[in-house]
A and B are shown apart, each in its own frame.
Chain A
Amino acid sequence: MMSLSKRYLPFIIIATVAALTVGAGVMLYRAKQRAIPTARTTSMPVDKTISETADKTKETAAHVRGEADAPVTLEEFGDFQCPSCATVSGVISKLEQEYGPRLRVVFRQFPLAMHPHALEAALAAEAAGLQGRFWEMHDMLYQYQSVWSKASNVRPLFDAYAGALHLNVERFREDSNSNEVKTRVVLEGEDGVSRGVKNTPTLFVNGQVVRAAFTAERLREAIDAALIGQKSSNNSTKGGHK
């Protein structure tokens, strides 16, 4: 009897570990799925007014930096509290200088609920955008990410940033709470989800997602490939007209 139980013991241990691993994995997966909601499921109140103004805001121009006719568009779905996004932001600035008029950059909001101040930061950037200073606030939020990320209340800090950018701080505060900016953030988040964005930063070069796009080398490769693709498609179009 003793020998029989000893014979089965290792298999019982193995089966228990397998069951515990699968169980823990599923529980962790579910917990993380709840922690990574889309922009709509962040703590932002989504009221009737937002859904009513949604269609109108969908047509709002994206935040674009660079020439409108640039052959390459680098589109980022970012979260201002995401450390990788701050790193990539510096890389993108470098590439913008390098490629000049051949590259335009588009930023779209994708605040993750796992970052407690990401949504407020997104709203602050949008509010600054209403006064024509989106990119300045974008740069400032990334520059001081390590400072405001640790703050319990980020509002005074964001107000200070708005002041430093010579914004009308009173209007900035009101706009940060307005349905207009909330709607925009919600819609951009939904747009990201519909395009398969799961984490931040997610980058697209001419509509194609670029994986492991955290280094200048990797992004340069993608941009160069897009430039070559553009050239060859232009040549074939010209050839077709002959």
Chain B
Amino acid sequence: MTAARFQIILSAIAAVISLAGLADATYLTVAHLTGDDLVCGSPGGCSAVLGSVYASVAGIPTAAFGALAYFVAFSSATLAVFGYARARTLLMLVVMAMFGATLWLLYVQAFILHAFCPFCLLSAALTFLLAGIVVATPSSD
């Protein structure tokens, strides 16, 4: 398998993962906006996280930023599949930002709120997968 083909396959996988993340983040955004406390059924978990001050930035749900990031990741991965070289750089940048934000949000859940929201953990897992793919993708050179 050539490096170019391997790049395309990994970009396609990244697009699919981003799509899953987009669905998850959209659901969390809606849950936040509607005040739904039963998104996961774990006592205190989702409510504690989605109802916390960390769940929004300047009145905008944090999950909405996540959805936007996943959408950008999906778009750049899709463009990368179709051979847009700069899209790979954009994908790398957005995934790096998502990785950093995910680490911070995991810290908040573990050490500040002492509660975990399974849907947030799913998003974290998807971001880590994306980061792994970005790292594993060979450069065009």
B residues 84-129 with Cβ under 8 Å of A?
A: 84, 113-115
Among A14, A21, A83, A86, the residue within 8 A (CB) of B67 is A21
Among B23, B35, B41, B114, the residue within 8 A (CB) of A83 is B41
Let me know if B43 and A84 touch, CB within 8 A: yes
A contact patch SS: helix
Judge if A198 is at the interface, Cβ distance under 8 Å: yes
**Interface range on chain A: under 10, 10 to 19, 20 to 34, or 35 or more?**
20 to 34
Let me know if A14 and B75 touch, CB within 8 A: yes
Judge if A87 is at the interface, Cβ distance under 8 Å: yes
Q: What residues of A have a CB within 8 angstroms of the CB of B23 in the complex?
A: 21, 24
Known: A212-B48, A212-B113. A25 touches B43 (CB 8 A): no
CB-based A-B contact count at 8 angstroms: 93
B80's closest neighbor in chain A, by CB?
A10
Let me know if A214 and B48 touch, CB within 8 A: yes
Let me know if B113 and A199 touch, CB within 8 A: no
Known: A84-B37, A114-B38, A200-B37. A212 touches B74 (CB 8 A): no
Known: A17-B74, A199-B51, A212-B53. A29 touches B44 (CB 8 A): no
Judge if B71 is at the interface, Cβ distance under 8 Å: yes
Question: How distant is B50 from chain A, measured CB to nearest CB, in Å?
Answer: 8
A13 CA / B114 CA spacing, docked (Å): 40
Contact mask for chain B residues 67-87; partner A; CB cutoff 8 A; 1 contact, 0 none: 100010011001101101000
A80 CA / B19 CA spacing, docked (Å): 37
Let me know if B30 and A28 touch, CB within 8 A: yes
Let me know if A25 and B26 touch, CB within 8 A: yes
Let me know if A32 and B34 touch, CB within 8 A: yes
Known: A10-B84, A13-B78, A84-B48. A25 touches B29 (CB 8 A): yes
A17 CA / B18 CA spacing, docked (Å): 11
A18 CA / B79 CA spacing, docked (Å): 14
Sample 27 A-B pairs with CB under 8 A, ordered by A number: A6-B82, A10-B78, A10-B84, A17-B19, A17-B74, A18-B71, A21-B71, A25-B26, A25-B30, A29-B30, A29-B33, A35-B34, A36-B34, A36-B36, A83-B44, A84-B47, A87-B43, A198-B34, A199-B37, A199-B47, A212-B48, A212-B51, A212-B113, A214-B44, A215-B44, A215-B115, A217-B114
Chain A interface (Cβ < 8 Å from any Cβ of B): 6, 9-10, 13-14, 17-18, 21, 24-25, 28-29, 32-33, 35-36, 82-84, 86-88, 112, 114-115, 198-201, 211-212, 214-215, 217
Known pairs A82-B37, A215-B115 / 6 extra A-B pairs, C-beta < 8 Å: A25-B26, A28-B26, A83-B41, A83-B42, A198-B34, A215-B113
